[in-house]
Amino acid sequence: MRILLAEDDPLLGDGLKAGLRQLGFLVDWVRDGQAAERELRAQPYAAAVLDLGLPLKDGMNVLEAIRRDGLSLPVLVLTARDAVPDRIRGLDVGADDYVIKPVDLNELAARLRALVRRAHGQPQECLTAQDVVLDPAARSVQQSGEPVTLSAREFDLLHALMLNAGRILSREQLEQHLYSWGQEVDSNAVEVHIHHLRRKLGTTLIQTVRGVGYMLQANTSDS
């Protein structure tokens, strides 16, 4: 999943970006509040990690501004401000979670996955569609109980479709899920990944909505 990291400390920001990327996240990193607000308005991120002590525009003001304008993506506030009034204010103005520095990288990743899962109405860590089970934490996929080997891009594409089951995603939306800044996108990249997923998981899982995009059917409880 693609997230925005807003952190002005170069060492911490570089470490968080590298660590989260190793855990399967696509990370765009900005170093000031104005850039954070601009990118949050421009890109459909799955979530944001927002430091409060940002230059040019304080992180709390960024949070207030995007919530006032109706942006609903999950925001995890990561800050050294550990006073209770600061935490209360951050939650009241629209933060979904609040973590005090220093933070364990695996905990941060788990909190991000939980925020994104809840934002999509998914109560369980593992996602299911037909006989396919996807585990975001382990970055693993099984079909009928058997492991399926996917590339990183194939996994991320399937994850995006399963999070949005029942909703059509256009090629452009899927590209935004799959590629961060500076990554070259071939014109038929999504179609190629869809083809590979169908070859590995069968042709009935991912539906093509001609002229619109792709979707998975939402699971129904019939038993």
pLDDT at 68: 94
pLDDT at 184: 65
- Cβ proximity of 175 and 214 under 8 Å: no
Q: Give the chain's domains with CATH numbers.
A: 2-119 (3.40.50.2300), 127-215 (1.10.10.10)
pLDDT at 77: 93
Question: Tokens 């970006």 identify what position?
Answer: 17
- Cβ proximity of 6 and 51 under 8 Å: yes
- Cβ proximity of 49 and 5 under 8 Å: yes
Sheet holding 97-100, edge to edge: 26-30, 2-6, 47-50, 75-79, 97-100
Residue type, 171: R
pLDDT at 177: 82
pLDDT at 48: 97
pLDDT at 58: 92
Q: Which two tokens stand for residue 217?
A: 């059917």
Q: The whole model's pTM is what?
A: 0.84
Q: What is the dihedral of CA 84, 87, 89, 92, to 10 degrees?
A: -120
Per-residue pLDDT of the chain (223 residues; tens, 9 = 90+): 899 999 999 999 999 999 999 999 999 999 999 999 999 999 889 999 999 889 999 999 999 999 999 999 999 998 887 777 877 888 888 999 988 888 899 999 999 999 999 998 887 889 999 999 999 989 999 999 999 999 999 999 999 999 998 899 999 889 888 877 656 667 788 999 999 999 999 999 999 999 899 999 877 544 3
Cis peptide before 74 (omega within 30 of 0): no
pLDDT at 222: 43
DSSP state of 99: E
